[in-house]
Structure 1
Amino acid sequence: MELNGLTIRPGERVLTRLVISKLPSGTVIDVPVHVFRSTVPGPTVLLLAGMHGDEVNGIETIRRLIRRDLLHPLRGSIIAIPILNIYGFLNFSREVPDGKDVNRSFPGHPRGSLASRVAHRFMREIMPLVDCGIDFHTGGAARSNMPQVRCLLGHPDTDALAQAFAAPFTLHSALRPGSLREAAFQQQKTIIVYEAGESLRLDEPGIELAIAGTFRVLHHLCMAAEAAPPARPSVVCLRHTWLRAKYAGLFHTQVQNGDFLEKGQVYGSVADPYGENSVRLESPVAGYIIGLNHMPVVNQGDALLHIGLTDPKPARVELSPPFLEKPGGPPETDLDDADDADDAPQ
């Protein structure tokens, strides 16, 4: 394996650093890349996090896998990158300093914007080596995501990886222009996205589910000897939508991530800050809550709930802590496509 000017032989474990650029101060910005190789030939799996610098759950997931010395493939190789967007990580930001999103900049260009250059270096150095991978993400802004895999269902390789990971929810998600998933798809490589928790907040259950799901994928690829089975089958959502605020004010929610929301059920309210008016919010659809806005002050059009729709309507699923179902709560909003949301990273 040739990477960053190094020859990495079977059985070796290597840490190399991809130099991206320099800060205005002259400080070099590089991306640490861990490579774990077996002596037995096999696929190369990518574990990537920190595409958005404020999404710390994926970073912590890969850090624990490395720190606990858990990445010993029985065959093939593992490439683990805890943080791709070092700039965003240093600034607690989703973007790079020029305000652009790395995950809307693939395949990138060597003379493009900073985000485009980061994407181009990745595509030049890492992507040619990869057969498949997991891209770890977290909900954006003040929105928390229920642990979920997002992928393009209907393709055998993608379906197999998603089923092996067995997150509590699996969402069919179209490819986004400029995303890593799209760039990988163009090269006939399979990348699934795992989402859990909220930006700048560690979500312990989501992290442990990520580690368990990663091992199930490695076991599926015959790269790990064993993996713990999922606690329950993944709920597959072929469609999903956002409920958005029709009114500005203070948002009070009466539901939690993982709850099943009945059509017409009150899930919260929006009230003016002066104590004069309050509007009950009722769901226009039935489905699982897979994303929840924790920002108490909302404007018209703000995303409130992300709803996973199942066809036909599923039986109620028993979810154990921290995914315990509870009686639903109170709103009223508009339906739109979930991919319009800021935290849809594909």
Structure 2
Amino acid sequence: MLINGLTIRPGEQVLTRLVISRLPSGTVIDVPVHVYRSEKPGPTVLLMAGMHGDEVNGIETIRRLIRRDLLHPLRGSIIAIPILNIYGFLNFSREVPDGKDVNRSFPGHPRGSLASRVAHRFMREIMPLVDCGIDFHTGGAARSNFPQVRCQLGSPDGDALAQAFGAPFTLHSSLRPGSLREAAFKQGKSIIVYEAGESLRLDEAGIDTAIAGTFRVLHHLGMVPEAAPPAQPTIVCLRHTWLRAKFAGLFRSHVQNGQYLEKGQTYGSVADPYGEQAVRLESPVAGYIIGLNHMPVVNQGDALLHVGLVDEAEAARLARNPPFNEKPGSPEELEEIEIE
């Protein structure tokens, strides 16, 4: 295996650093890459986080796996990259300094924008070695994601990886232009995305789920001897939608992430900041809450809830027996103002 001009032989464990560029001060920016190789042949699995520098849950997941010395495959190799976007990490930002998103810049170009150069270096040095992988992400803009895997369902490899991971939810997610998943797909490789928590805030439950799911994937590939089964089967959502604010004001949620939401159920309210009126919000769909906005000040069109949709038969069954048993108390009585 050749990375960064360094030959890594079977049975070796190596840390190398990909030099990306320099800050205006002259400080070198490099990306640490941990490589763990077994003496036995097998697949090469990518574990990567920090595509967006403010998404710390994935960074912490891989940090713990490295720190606890847990990445020693029985066969094959593991490439672990805790932070790809060093610029964003230093600036608590999703983007690189030129304002572009690395995950919309693949496959990149050696003479393109900064984000494009980061993507190009990854595609040149890492992607040719990878068979499959997990890309760890976190909700952004004060939105928290319930632990979930996103992939393009229908491909045998992607389906198998998602099923092996065993997150509480598995979402069918189409390939986005310029994303790592799309670039990998074009090369016949499967990358699943794990999402949990919100930016710049550690989510212990989401991190624990990430570590357990990673071990289940590695066990599925024959790279670790055992892995704990998930607490319950993953719930597959072939469709999902955002419920958005129709009115500007102060948003208060009356539901919890992961909860089953019935059609017509009140899930929150939007009120003006002067105490003159409040509007009760009712869900037009039935499904699971897989993403929740925590920003109280909202404008028209802001995303409030991300809902994973289910069919009518499943909706009826779940209404009788909510899977996560997270039914908050009835919301307080609000003055309901009809606004067309």
Under TM normalisation by the shorter chain, which class is it?
over 0.9
2:20 alignment counterpart? 20
- Deviation per CA, 1:178-220: give whole Å up to 9, x if none: 0000000000000000000000000000000000000000000
- Please give the secondary structure, in 2, of the residue aligned with 1:53: coil
> Is residue 127 from structure 1 mapped to residue 138 from structure 2 by the alignment?
no
Kindly state the Cα deviation for residue 328 of structure 1 after the two structures are TM-superposed. 7.4
Please list every run of 5 or more consecutive structure 2 residues that lacks an aligned counterpart in the other structure: none
Which aligned pairs between 1:177-256 and structure 2 lie closer than 5 A?
Answer: 177-256=177-256
Amino acid at match of 1:60: E
Change (3 A) 1:181 1:242: same
Amino acid at match of 2:194: Y
1:176 alignment counterpart? 176
Output the CA distance in 2 between the equivalents of 1:196 and 1:186: 26
* % identical equivalent positions: 85
- Answer yes or no: is the 8 Å Cα contact 1:265–1:328 preserved in 2: no
- Answer yes or no: is the 8 Å Cα contact 2:259–2:322 preserved in 1: no
> Is residue 57 from structure 1 mapped to residue 57 from structure 2 by the alignment?
yes
- Deviation per CA, 1:31-84: give whole Å up to 9, x if none: 000000000000000000000000000000000000000001000000000000
- Answer yes or no: is the 8 Å Cα contact 1:267–1:328 preserved in 2: no
- Answer yes or no: is the 8 Å Cα contact 1:268–1:329 preserved in 2: no
Amino acid at match of 1:206: G
Please list every run of 5 or more consecutive structure 1 residues that lacks an aligned counterpart in the other structure: 333-346
Output the CA distance in 1 between the equivalents of 2:325 and 2:36: 37
- Answer yes or no: is the 8 Å Cα contact 1:171–1:239 preserved in 2: yes
Change (3 A) 1:328 1:163: farther
Output the CA distance in 2 between the equivalents of 1:259 and 1:152: 24
Aligned length: 329
> Is residue 76 from structure 1 mapped to residue 76 from structure 2 by the alignment?
yes
- Please give the secondary structure, in 1, of the residue aligned with 2:270: strand
TM-score (norm 2): 0.95
TM-score (norm 1): 0.93
Higher-Rg member (1/2) = 2
Which aligned pairs between 1:24-173 and structure 2 lie closer than 5 A?
Answer: 24-173=24-173
Kindly state the Cα deviation for residue 266 of structure 1 after the two structures are TM-superposed. 0.5
Output the CA distance in 1 between the equivalents of 2:280 and 2:133: 43
Amino acid at match of 2:278: S
- Deviation per CA, 1:161-194: give whole Å up to 9, x if none: 0000000000000000000000000000000000
Output the CA distance in 2 between the equivalents of 1:298 and 1:318: 29
Output the CA distance in 1 between the equivalents of 2:283 and 2:328: 14
Superposition RMSD on alpha carbons, in Å? 1.4
1:326 alignment counterpart? 327
Output the CA distance in 2 between the equivalents of 1:272 and 1:282: 18
- Answer yes or no: is the 8 Å Cα contact 2:260–2:322 preserved in 1: no
- Please give the secondary structure, in 1, of the residue aligned with 2:59: helix
- Deviation per CA, 1:141-167: give whole Å up to 9, x if none: 100000000000011100000000000
